[in-house]
Amino acid sequence: MSGMRSQPAMPLSRRAALASLLAPLAVPRLARAQGGWPDRPVRIVVPFTPGGSTDIIARALAAELQDSLGQPFVVENRGGAGGTIGTEVVAHAPADGYTLLMGHIGTLAVNPTLYRNLSFDTVTSFAPITLAAVVPNVMVVNPRKMPSGGIQELVAMAKRRPRSLTYGSGGNGSAAHIAMAAFCLATGVEMEHIPYRGTAPMMNDLIGGTIDLTFTGGPPILPPVRAGMLRALGVSSDHRLAGAPDIPTVEEQGVAGFEANQWYGLVAPAGTPRPIVDRLNAECTRILKGDKLRPRLESEGAEAAPGTPEAFRDFIVAERARWGEVVRRAELKPD
């Protein structure tokens, strides 16, 4: 084209020298791009309303992760449909490490049998990070309804008057519902289930005397027990709680082999880069084994139980099989 002069090409030697000068700058830049997670807030979806064990444990862990990783870890409550709504949000979220799920026995093990048309699979749709805590259920009664006695007295009362006792839960298929269904199968009793939209409103009605009892996780249960507003009958684990050693187990009181614990664990959408999963696993393990959070969990009836992502995946598979059988035998239905 007339009036324009082409620029002379840069000599090969100069180009090689410039490339060698820029190369050291490019490598750290790439490393920063791969290792910069997290560089913005991370959300942990709790698929239930505030106030239950899932919410309590998620918030405690989020606060520690925020301190150690230097970015906000924000708990977002997305309740509804037995936890399936919030779980679905995470299953279809970008697999970039910025959306996590605090899953638990109901959302990851019970719901695949309880709900027939889920848009996700609790094994293949998620990248397990770690089992966080095991929370034995504590059976409690309103003391005005049952001022004395233990598990055997409750069973005798229920057998004398089938379906006269009412128990509450955070919803159909919730951890409290499944634990009581297992107890009724083990003891041959029938009680009337009253589902609520979350643990907090159920607890209000239990303390107020609208319902008779519940069988749910320690964190929301133990404070009103210690305050005398509720009376504890038994613990669902095979050992007594470190934070409440005076409460006997259900098995100690004659229900042989009974164990029905809640559990909670962190998962990410399937395809989340393994370095992010490994970093989260390492941080959660350090936090859960540390002297700050572990004693707090124990005081609230929870037991820290971190492990590898692979161990958590195997655990979810085994729990799905176990609790799916309870759902079928008890003929449980969703809301």
Residue 19 lies in a domain: no
92 and 238 in a single domain? The answer is no
The rounded distance, in Å, linking the Cα atoms of 101 and 216 is 21
Give the pLDDT confidence score for residue 331 in this predicted structure. Answer: 93
**171 close to 196: Cβ distance less than 8 angstroms:** yes
Q: What is the CATH number of the domain that holds 55?
A: 3.40.190.150
Amino acid type, 203: M
Residue 92 φ then ψ, to 5°: -105, 10
Query: Could you tell me which of 316, 321, 318 has the C-alpha nearest to residue 103?
Result: 316
Give the pLDDT confidence score for residue 118 in this predicted structure. Answer: 96
152 and 232 in a single domain? The answer is yes
Residue 21 lies in a domain: no
95 and 167 in a single domain? The answer is no
The rounded distance, in Å, linking the Cα atoms of 97 and 22 is 31
Residue 290 lies in a domain: yes
177 and 319 in a single domain? The answer is no
Query: Could you tell me which of 221, 217, 169, 157 has the C-alpha nearest to residue 193?
Result: 169
The rounded distance, in Å, linking the Cα atoms of 123 and 125 is 6
150 and 249 in a single domain? The answer is yes
Tokens of 235: 């613990």
114 and 83 in a single domain? The answer is yes
Domain holding 107, by residue range, is 42-135+261-330
How many structural domains does the chain have? Answer: 2
Q: What is the CATH number of the domain that holds 166?
A: 3.40.190.10
Identify the H or E element spanning 161: none
The 3-state DSSP class for residue 282 equals helix
The structure's pTM equals 0.82
Last residue of a domain, one of 237, 253, 269: 253
140 and 243 in a single domain? The answer is yes
Residue 51 lies in a domain: yes
Last residue of a domain, one of 188, 223, 253: 253
Give the pLDDT confidence score for residue 35 in this predicted structure. Answer: 61
180 and 245 in a single domain? The answer is yes
Residue 56 lies in a domain: yes
200 and 280 in a single domain? The answer is no
- 10 Å CB burial of residue 107 (0-12, 13-18, 19+) is buried
Query: Could you tell me which of 304, 307, 265 has the C-alpha nearest to residue 282?
Result: 307
- 10 Å CB burial of residue 85 (0-12, 13-18, 19+) is middle
Q: How far is the first Cα of the chain from the last one, in angstroms, to the nearest whole number?
A: 76
With a pLDDT cut of 90, the percent of the chain lying above it is 78
Q: Which residue has the tokens 């100069």?
A: 14
- Distance of alpha carbon 333 from its chain centroid, rounded? 21
pLDDT string in tens for the chain (335-residue length) = 444 334 444 444 444 443 443 444 433 333 333 469 999 999 999 999 898 888 989 999 999 999 999 999 999 999 888 899 999 999 999 999 999 999 999 999 999 999 989 999 999 999 999 999 999 999 999 999 999 999 999 999 999 999 999 999 988 888 899 999 999 999 999 999 999 988 889 999 999 999 999 999 888 899 999 999 999 999 999 999 988 999 999 999 999 999 999 999 999 999 999 999 999 999 999 999 999 999 989 888 889 999 999 999 999 999 999 999 999 999 998 86
Last residue of a domain, one of 235, 253, 271: 253
122 and 69 in a single domain? The answer is yes
Tokens of 164: 């006269």
- Distance of alpha carbon 231 from its chain centroid, rounded? 25
Residues 6+ apart with CB under 8 A from 158: 164, 165, 187, 189, 190, 191
